[in-house]
Structure 1
C-alpha cells in the first residue's frame, strides 16, 4: 500500500524542517519519540524520499527469492 502526503519544507531557526502530519504517523504506527528513516529511492527514473520504520527498504527481488 502506498499513501502520499504533500509536505512543505519550513524554516526552523535557519535549518530546513518538515512537519509530519498526524495521519502519516498513524499509518506508519509511530508516535512522538520513535525513530524513522528517510531513505532515497528511485521510482522508475524519479528520485524520491521515503519515510520508513526500517533503515533499508527490501528489494522486491529479495522477496521473490525469500532472502
Structure 2
C-alpha cells in the first residue's frame, strides 16, 4: 500500500484504526475497509489522485 518513507506512517495509522475497531467491536469492518483501500491503492489513477500536488485538499474532498 505504501512505499519508502510513508510505509511506517501507513502501518502506524492502520494499527491505530484496528485498535479502535477492537475497542468498538468492529475490527472485521475496519479490516475489510483497509483491505479495500489497499486494493484501490494499486490503481495508479486512484493513487495519483490522492498524491498529486496539483489538487488541493478541498478539491480531493469533493
TM over 0.5: no
- Larger proportion of helix: 2
Instruction: Indicate the structure whose relative CO is greater, using CA pairs within 8 Å and at least 6 residues apart.
Output: 2
Q: Scaled by the length of structure 1, what TM-score is found?
A: 0.23
- Larger proportion of strand: 1
Q: Scaled by the length of structure 2, what TM-score is found?
A: 0.24
Q: Looking at CA atoms only, which structure, 1 or 2, has the larger radius of gyration?
A: 1
